[in-house]
């Protein structure tokens, strides 16, 4: 279940930064990917325990074998439309490093697609889109079958400072 990425052109980032395998997933009709080494588990959608006074994209928490795991709906986080939960909706459970500590979080996505092998020279930097559009959590972009796949940096995406949580709350 592996796809080779286009290696057209040159100028990608250093090989130690971008090369590797990425789990691709769909979200609002677009494709994204994250480092497969961050993925701990893929689960079918299930209801979560809602928490009060949370941003709309923090769906709640899930008990995962005794650990309380915060669940972030990426469709809502990226503002790509109304969140619909279908039989293909999944939760990607990831390990996140932030501030010297490790935590487990879940990402709700429309569906998983494939595992992509990405060569460092195939990855392009995120475009500069101005101060109003946050690209800090984009690791880079690659072309797959003439479509762009946005590769995300999960540690930056799920950093508590990036999640805009209420004061005093740390998921």
Is 168 within a domain?
no
Cα–Cα nearest to 137, from 94, 88, 89 = 94
Contacts of 139 (CB under 8 A, 6+ apart): 17, 18, 35, 123, 126, 151, 152, 153
Cα–Cα nearest to 72, from 81, 64, 83 = 83
State the Cα–Cα distance between residues 34 and 110, nearest whole angstrom: 14
Per-residue pLDDT of the chain (171 residues; tens, 9 = 90+): 444 433 333 333 343 456 899 999 999 889 999 999 999 999 999 989 998 888 889 999 999 989 889 999 999 988 888 878 999 999 999 999 877 788 899 999 999 999 999 998 889 987 776 544 567 889 999 998 888 999 999 999 988 777 765 544 454
Is 52 within a domain?
yes
Is 169 within a domain?
no
Is 164 within a domain?
no
Residue 114: CATH number of its domain:
2.40.50.180
State the Cα–Cα distance between residues 67 and 10, nearest whole angstrom: 44
Give the predicted TM-score (pTM) of the model: 0.82
State the Cα–Cα distance between residues 25 and 33, nearest whole angstrom: 6
168, two tokens: 């005093």
């Amino acid at each position: 279940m592996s796809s080779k990425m286009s290696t057209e052109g040159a100028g990608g980032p250093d090989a130690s930064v971008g090369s590797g395998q990425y789990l691709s997933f769909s979200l609002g009709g677009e494709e994204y990917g994250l480092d497969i080494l961050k993925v701990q588990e893929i689960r079918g959608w299930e209801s979560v325990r809602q928490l009060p006074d949370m941003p709309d994209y923090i769906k709640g928490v899930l008990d995962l074998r005794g650990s309380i795991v915060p669940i972030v709906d990426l469709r809502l986080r990226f503002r790509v439309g109304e969140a619909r939960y279908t039989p293909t909706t999944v939760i990607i459970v990831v390990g996140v490093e932030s501030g010297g500590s490790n935590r487990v979080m879940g990402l709700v996505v429309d569906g998983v697609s494939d595992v992509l092998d990405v060569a460092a020279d195939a990855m392009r930097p995120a475009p500069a889109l101005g101060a109003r559009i946050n690209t800090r959590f984009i690791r880079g972009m690659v072309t797959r079958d003439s479509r762009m796949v946005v590769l995300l940096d999960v540690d930056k995406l799920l950093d508590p400072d990036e999640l805009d949580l209420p004061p005093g709350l740390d998921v």
